[in-house]
Amino acid sequence: MSEISKEEKLKSLNDLLINSNELNSILKYQNDINIFKILKTEKAEIRHSNVLAWLLNSAENHKLDDLFIKTWFGKITKENYNNIKEKFSIHRLILHSLNDFVVYREKWNIDILLVAEKSKQVVVIENKIDSGEHDNQLKRYEDKINQEFPDYEKLFIYLTPNLSEMLDTENWIKVGYVTVKESLEEVIFNIKDETIKLIINNYIEIIRSEVMEDNSELKELSLEIYKKYKIALDIIYEYKPDSQQNIKDIIDEILLNIQKQNQNILLLPSAKSYIRFTTKSLQHKSQNQGNEKWIKGMKDILVYEILNIQNYELCIKLLIGPSNNKELRNSFIETAKKHSNIFKYVSRGAEWTQIWKKTILTKNEIENDEYDFNELKEKIEKNIINIINDEVKEIDQIFN
């Protein structure tokens, strides 16, 4: 394929600018007013749980009575009937429990808990959007509910947009966010109050576009424009700012400056998504016993990784990496277990084990348009310096 000339590139960019009306059809998606986007809660699990708890409470001011909960549970039981029928009376739920449910938020750290004392039924809902199940969460909640409600029928629901996710327990049923969206679409016609109807319509759109990420109409429109202005859009994409690389550059500069002042910090081979370092103390403990499955030439076992991945929080983790010296590696795991107030033992398989994690910036903070480059850099620098001066120093002392 022949190389595109400079004149062709400029003409293509000019055509795109002149025909900007075609881009307005895409911009309308960005400009649609949505209260959940205005409040920056479109992917915040806590806010979604608040909305769901509101909808599930038949006494709330959404004026749906028990219509949403009846419709939603109808869909859940229809899709999961064989998994539910032996443990939970569907008929008792639909006929008696819906209006009796008391709705709790964050009771025993459970996202949503529904308890019907008269019919002795309890429904537990764990709501996951961007994150997955961790720290044996589901089993802990399950044990707590069995302890508190020994003679109740129990229904454990794992609400997620990702139905392919594997769970560590068989007692939970996976329920897709599509059931929430479809249930709201069915009941919204019963709402006369225009304000409440607007809120629920906004919420339906957020589930569709942000949680389920169903943007088929936008995708089709984008493909049409891309075909027509391919040269111009390819040029723009080639020179677009790379926020992930910008953050990596910021972190590299911060770590280099820290290393100049703190001789205990050692920088390790890294990539754009994983910026690695360790300390002299931890490297000494590793005794060059890493087996290079991590990175060729790297003999460390105890390594800090700053995770810099798009659409995810910016965080720092301490990993126990692979080693042929199983006794040494296991001694690190045992040390972590003895200090459970600091370390959370999270297995990632036989060779990599995450034992500690600290958030540097949340996903919302990274995507905050109000920050300019210098403000973002200052915030990252402040948090990394604090973590290294406090937590990293404390971890060094534990392993020594």
Residue spans of the domains in the chain: they are: 37-211, 243-399
Smallest CA-to-CA distance from 357 within 399, 398, 319 is with 319
Q: Would you list the DSSP string of 206-220?
A: HIIIIIS---HHHHH
Convert the pLDDT of each residue in 32-74 to its tens digit: 544 444 344 444 567 778 888 888 888 777 778 888 888 888 8
Please answer whether residues 99 and 58 qualify as being in contact, where contact means their C-beta atoms are separated by less than 8 angstroms. yes
Q: What is the pLDDT at residue 302?
A: 92
Q: What is the pLDDT at residue 234?
A: 67
Model pTM score: 0.48
How many whole angstroms separate alpha carbon 268 and alpha carbon 129?
A: 33
Name the β-bridge partners of 110: 107
- Which parts of the chain sit beneath pLDDT 50? 1, 27, 29-31, 33-43, 214
How many whole angstroms separate alpha carbon 400 and alpha carbon 397?
A: 5
The HSE-up count of residue 374 (CA atoms within 13 Å, CB side) is: 0
Q: What is the pLDDT at residue 38?
A: 39
Residue type at 33 in one-letter notation: I
Per the listing, tokens 């508190």 go with 148
Please answer whether residues 297 and 314 qualify as being in contact, where contact means their C-beta atoms are separated by less than 8 angstroms. no
Q: Which two tokens stand for residue 369?
A: 């348009």
Q: What is the pLDDT at residue 1?
A: 42
Convert the pLDDT of each residue in 130-179 to its tens digit: 655 556 788 889 999 999 999 999 999 898 877 766 666 778 888 888 88
Q: What is the pLDDT at residue 35?
A: 47
